[in-house]
Structure formats: C-alpha cells, structure tokens
Structure 1
Amino acid sequence: MIIIEFKAYGKSLQYQAIDEAIRTVKFIRNSCIRLWMDNKGTGKYDLSKYCKILAKEFPFANELNSTARQAAAERAWSSISRFFDNCKKKIPGKKGFPKFQKRCRSVEYKQSGWKLSPDKKSITFSDKKGIGKLKLKGTWDLWRFDKKQIKRLRIVKRADGYYVQFCISVDVNEELEPSRTTIGLDVGLKDFYTDSDGNSEPNPRFYRTGEKAIKFYQRRVSRKKKGSSNRKKAVNRLGRQHLKISRQREEHAKRLAGCVVRSNDLVAYEDLRVKNLVKNHCLAKSINDAGWYQFRKWLEHFGEKFGRVTVAVNPAYTSQICSECGEVVKKSLSTRTHVCKCGCELDRDHNAAINILKRALSTVGHTGTWIVDPNAYGESTPTLPDSGLVEQVGSLK
C-alpha cells in the first residue's frame, strides 16, 4: 500500500462544505463511542449498523456518503480494539481508554462517493455536502494506477490548505543486491546518530532554528482579541510555522533512514521509549526536536520494503559497557569519552553503537533464517542469503 497526496484547490464554499463533512465525521465517531460505553458487548458490526440510525435521525449525517459514515465508525472501533489489545498485553500505565474526539481534521471515503476526471487532474464528490469538484496539484501520476487499486480516499485539512490522499494497493517490495555490511546506530542529542563505524550525522535541530519565528507568531496570537477573525488568521500563521518544522523533521528522518537501509544488510538500533524519555523536563524539548520515533518508523518501513533486517535491541547499559572487554565503566551524561582499563578509548556514542550491533547479532544469530559465518566479517556475524545494498553513506550533505 502506498499513499499519494495532492493539494486540493476550490472555492470558499467548497472549503466550508469540507469542514462540515469533517464535523459530521467527528459527530458519528463520538456517537459510536458513546454507544459502546452505554451498551456492554457492542461490537464492530453494531457500530456499523448504528450509522444508519444516525443517518435517519439527523439530516446532516444523512448528507454524508454512506462509506464515509462507515469509515467514521471504523475509526471508533480502532480506538476500542487498541484499548482491548493494551489490556490483554498488560501494558504498564494507562491503557488508552477511548475518548471523545475534540478536533478532527479529515474525512475518509471508500470506493464510492467520488469520481476522478479522465485526465486525473480533478476529483468530484457526489454526496449532498456540496463539496463538488476540486482541482488536484501534485507530482505523482495517477494515470499509472487503475481505479480499482484505489481502496481509500481521504480529505485532510492542514494549516496551509486542504489535501486529498489516495491509498493505493500496490506491491512496494524491491530486491537489492547484498552489501554484506551490518551497522549499529546510537541516536543522541549532540549528533543525530553515531554508527558502529564511527561515522556521525549532525543533529539539524529544526525546532531550535525556527523557535524565534514561532515565538514571534505566538506573541501576535496573544495580542488579538479572542473570537476575532484576526486571531484566527494569527493562529493559522502560527500553525503554518509548526507545520513547516514538522515537515522538515519528517523529511530528514525519511532520507536518512532510506540511505542507511539501502547501504546495509542489517541495521540495529535502540528500542527507546520516547514517551518515558520526555518526562525529563530538562531534555524534553531537545528529544522531541530530534525526531527519533520518525527515524525508527522509516527504518522499519524501508527494511520491509527492501528486504533488510532491522533489529531493535534493549538500550540498557549500551553506553556503560566496554565494547572491547565487556567491563562496566560507569559514566555520567557529561562524560563524552569512554576510557577503559583495557586500553579502549572511544567516543561515548561510538562505543554504544558497537554494543548495539553486537546485541543485535547475538539475537538474530539464534534464529533459523540466519546463517552464521565467522569468516564473513572477521567475527561471529550473520550472513543474509538474499539481501544487499550500496555502500554506507556518511551524510546527506
């Protein structure tokens, strides 16, 4: 499955119709959650049937396409099923009990309620909300795909406008030649990551760079009168600045992950719980600005796409243990150099990256899909039969 996104252009009345459709989706989703709370044993199909009842009772709900109403009910059930899964897995802390949605920014259609133009440059929505025909602008070519391959369609509202997303059923797997290299990555705040070969990628710090502009727009918002149109415009400008930073962070993580996965047969990284790390208020802003979760998400995505092995290892004591002799050398966060009695002297992050790679190799070496060849890399390193890529890239710049 791939997601293709286009910028949608229309008139102000069409944008108002999209906003009304989004509010209707929020109403149906919250109504389904209320039905589940009040009636024990409510299932997925009960929520789907409840959409018809809502359409009969409320005219504004009947104006929305039936598949869009079903998609809203599916959103409610996904939050319920996630709560049940967390309870079964006994995840510590809060289990994510379903809540009523306050802000909704998208409406989702299935394979009806819309029609693409022959040239695939515009789309027309046929429900009674009055969205009508929207022009599409983007770099992807929809003519390459058959309409039957488009399984879902979504209209998304962002600070800089409206977007139309197409969910297309396509096989995205690619075969690459083996590179016969493995790598361990240690993410950090000083450098974005340091690999087991000693190479490091600088941390761009997008939020720190754009923080001055954000503070400027925040002051403008605070000066405007609440409920006024000028305040809404100031809030929109502030949202655009945040959207720009988030896009920069996402694109940076995506490009780096693609380069790393293409260059190595195995990529090892830390299984970090970012949600727990940001509880440290001294480092929370820097941790969120680094974008470790986005980087891991794209690593796993490209690993599945290119047939690479990605291994998440336990990060405990990776920076304290000596990568040469295995002794524990305790050090504080301010100590950036690892010095051991055995004579090993490395950068703290470089030492941790080597330990991460060793843990990954010791883990996957016991699985049946790996062939351990001691002479392949000079140590007990697994060899992948049908995988590979180009050489490791030091930096995008």
Structure 2
Amino acid sequence: MAFKTKLAEHEIQLGTRQYRIYPEGEQIAWIWQLFGANRFVWNQFVAAFEARYEANPELKFPKIGVLKSWLPLMRKEYEWLKRVNSTSLQFTVERFSDDMWAFLTKKQVKQGKPRFKSRKYYCQTATIKNVKYQTKTGAQAQIAVLSPHHLRIGKKNGITLRTSSLHNLRNVRIQKAVISYRQDLDRYYISFSVVKDKRQLAQYQVKSKKTGKAVGIDVGLGKEWLVTSDGKRFGVPDTFKLEKAMLKRQSHCDRNRTAIEKRAARFNHEHEEKIDKHDYANWQKLRKTKSKYQLKIRNIRYDYLQKVTTELVKGYDVIAIEDLKVKNLLGNHKLAHNIANASWGMFRRLLAYKCEWYGKKLIVVKPQYTSRICSECGKKNPRFAHMKTRDWIAIREWYCPYCHAHHDRDVNASKNILARAVGLGSKISKIQAGAQPC
C-alpha cells in the first residue's frame, strides 16, 4: 500500500495544507530533477510490467516489498538517481503498486491500467516522505519549517525554499509533502499532509462556546444557495465578471485550437523537427490567462465556503444536512454546471472536519421529500406528485392543503431536515392514508 503512516492514539488527521513556493535558479533545477526521476522510475515500472504480462499473463503481481527491492538496483544502474531524494522514489513505487492492484482486482470500475507519463503534461508532481534521518547532532526530519516564509526539504543535498505564510503549520506534524508545478499557471506549489495532537484540540473545544442551538440546512442553486431552519439565507459570491472574462478566453481557446493544430500538422509535414500546439507562445499565453481567471474564481468560492462553515459551526451545536449524491445529480446535463459551481461536496467536507475540531455534531439525513412535506402537520402535498422537475423547481412558496400553513420552500425543507435529525422524522414521514385535502 502507498505511504500511510499509522497515527498515534492521541493524533488526528487534519488533511492537507497548500502553499505557493518561489524557487530560483538551482532550486528550480533540483525540483525538475525530482520530477524527472519520479517520472523515469514510474515509466520504467510500467514498461517492465507491460513486457512481463505480454510474455506470461498468468504471472502474479509481486508484493510491494519485492518492488521496492528493485529500486537499489535501478539506482546502481542509473547513477544520477542517487542525487534524488530516495523517499520520493519509494512513494512512486508504492503508488504504482496501488494502481496496479486496483486495476488487477477491479476494485474501482473506472480504474484503468497505469500509463506512461509525459514531461509535457500540464501538471508535474513529486512526493517526499517526512521520515527522520540520523546526523551528528541527532535525528532530523526531511521537511523542516525554518521561518514563517522558509522551509528546508531533503538531507544534505536538499534545498531551502521561500514560500507563502506557513503560520498554519504551527503545532502540527507533517507526514509528507507534494511539490507540484502547474504549466498553465507557471506556478509552483507545495502541499503538506498534517496531523495534530487530539489533546490540543480538546483544550480548544473546551474554550469554544456552547450555544445549545440546533439547525437544519437546505442547500440549493441560484441566489439562495443556503437556507437555515431559523430563516437565515446565504447567497453565492459574486464572480459574474470573472466568469464572463474566463468564458471569453475559453471560447477564444476553442476557436483557435483547431487552427493551431492544423498549423502544427502542416509544419511537421514539411520539416523534420516536430512540434505541437503547446510550442506556440501565443497559445501558452492564452491558456495561462484563462487558468488565472479560473484560479481566482476558485479561490473566491473556497474563501467564502470557509467563512460560511466557520460561522455555522460557531453558531450551532447540532447541524443537520441532506445526504446528497452529487455525482448522481451531475447526470442532469441542464443543471450540471450550476450544481458543480454550488460546491455542495466541498461544503459538506468542510463542515465535517470543523464540527470535529469544535466538538460539535453533524447529522446527515435522507433528502427524500424534504421540500414536499409540510413541516407543521407532517403530510405530503399531493399537488406535487405528478409535476415535472422544471415545474416543481419554479415553485418557491406553497400552502399546505391540510393545515393551510404557508411555507417558503427552502425554509420548510430545512425544518424537515432538522426534525429528521433530532428524531422527529417518523412523525414527518407519516402520511395519514385517509386524509383528504381541504
């Protein structure tokens, strides 16, 4: 299996932290040598096993220990691999083993056979484990934070990098670091997988105030992106101008892609030297501009999600949400773009880990008929039974035909979600068989 450090009983996984890095000169050369070595080792293993199974398809796939034993032989044959961090090459072998086992056992339906990697791919990555090594002064880690804007990676032949603010790495333990380069943005990033001591979180939870409140949350599309059971409404961040500019660049890319590909094909036909569309400076400039707009939009949405989830977790002790299957909902091609932009999955993930941090409770309930059941009498409105989706989505307010209560669609749904979460779901889901609308 790939690198999975066993956590101590007093530790908790905190996910990842991503920062931008600013390498220069020899640092860039060191990073690209790391990318090249990992790509070379990966391609060597892919080629070896393609030849192996073509000759004898019935051979069993070796275990990870056998695969790792081949690394010293490769480093002996290719001397330049010795100048690269060994833990990074080990992680590449472990990931190759995981991908091959997933492909052979068919654990994932869409898991294909590992393919060769190209240096022209828009995103290059390399992972370094934060294992300790012995020095004259004692044990030291592969990754060390030197100051709020500087960190050291590797042993004696490692590098010191200038980064964005590292204040979030205080009082945490770094498991591994992933260095990446985005060609479309021309930027370098580093992501850390970190864990924290549970005892520190417990002290923080004691300090956090208990409100004694519970809330149900209904998520939607459009201006009213999130509605709570007590009537609070959260809209979506205004990224209309950025999206318009991004779509303009996207359409420009689409119009010029075919022309550039034809121009490259004509050049390749007339010359021995081969090129492709990525060799054109104007094409690279256009892709970079489009990607920067996409990055701005993503950062605005992510920042907004962080602020909203923090406000909810600090304001309520119990939070109830729907168990939405976002992947299935994306099958609706008319709403797929809006659903993807709503970031429901990210919203749930942020709520989950923040509730754990603050000692709050997150309850997930079934989403069936939360908008169609009256939160006052608990009966389902028969008017909506045979409506088409587009007609049902257009209805924002309705009256209950049984108790004549007036409902805002989203507030009513959030109340039903809260009722199901606190144990009143049985009352709401029951519909009296003999009841007739007034």
- The TM-score range, normalised by the shorter chain, is 0.7 to 0.9
Tell me, yes or no, if the aligned pair for 1:160 and 1:240 is still in contact at 8 Å.
no
Bigger relative CO (Cα 8 Å, ≥ 6 apart): 1
Task: Supply the distance in 2 between the matched residues of 1:209 and 1:12 (Cα, whole angstroms).
Answer: 37
Identify the residue that residue 179 of structure 2 maps to in structure 1. Answer: 155
Counterpart amino acid of 2:176? R
Question: Residues 203 and 168 (structure 1 numbering): CA distance in 2 closer, same or farther, change over 3 Å?
Answer: closer
Amino acid at match of 2:24: K
Cα distance change, pair 30–362 in 1 and its aligned pair in 2 (3 A): farther
CA contact (8 A) 1:123 1:133 kept: yes
In the TM superposition, residue 292 of structure 1 has moved relative to its aligned partner by 0.8
Counterparts of 2:425 and 2:30, CA distance in 1: 53
Give the 5 Å matches for 1:1-397. Answer: 1-2=13-14, 3-11=16-24, 14-29=27-42, 38=53, 40-58=60-78, 61-79=81-99, 87=107, 94=109, 96-97=111-112, 99-100=114-115, 103=121, 104-111=123-130, 114=142, 116=144, 119=147, 121-126=149-154, 132-138=159-165, 140=167, 144-145=170-171, 149-158=173-182, 159=185, 161-171=187-197, 173=201, 174-175=204-205, 176-190=208-222, 191-204=224-237, 206=239, 208-221=240-253, 222-223=255-256, 225=260, 226=277, 227-329=279-381, 330=384, 332-341=392-401, 342-362=403-423
| 1:355-392 deviation digits (Å, cap 9, x = unpaired) | 11111122999xxxxxxxxxxxxxxxxxxxxxxxxxxx
1:154-174 deviations in whole A, cap 9, x for unaligned? 323242521233444323623
Q: Is contact 2:215-2:230 (8 Å) kept?
A: yes
SS class of match (1:321): coil
Structure 1 residue 52: Cα displacement: 3.7
Aligned residues: 356
5+ residue gaps in structure 2? 1-12, 54-58, 132-140, 261-276, 427-438
8 Å contact kept, 1:187–1:194 = yes
Q: Which has the larger radius of gyration?
A: 2
Asked if the contact 1:29–1:75 (Cα under 8 Å) also holds between the matched residues in 2, the reply is no
Counterparts in 2 of 1:248 and 1:348: CA distance versus 1, 3 Å = same
TM-score of the two chains, using structure 1 as the length reference: 0.76
Cα shift at 1:187: 0.4
One-letter amino acid matched to 1:241: Y
* Secondary structure of 1:105's aligned partner: strand
Residue deviations 1:38-68, cap 9 Å, x none? 4534434344334444444555554421101
Q: Using the alignment, how far apart are the partners of 2:116 and 2:416 within structure 1?
A: 43
- Take 2:320 and 2:47, find their aligned partners in 1: how far apart are those partners? 43
Query: Which residue is 1:394 aligned to?
Result: none
Q: 1:319 to 1:119 in 2, by over 3 A?
A: closer
Cα contact 1:33–1:98 (8 A) shared by 2:
no
Q: Whole-Å Cα distance in 1 between the matches of residues 36 and 424 of structure 2?
A: 49
Which residue does the alignment assign to 1:383?
A: none
CA gap of 1:60–1:346, structure 2 versus 1, over 3 A, is farther
Structure 1 range deviating more: 20-29 or 316-325: 20-29
Counterpart amino acid of residue 322 in structure 1 = C
Identity of aligned residues (%): 28
Code of the residue aligned with 2:236 in structure 1: it is N
RMSD, matched Cα: 3.5
With normalisation by structure 2, the TM-score equals 0.70
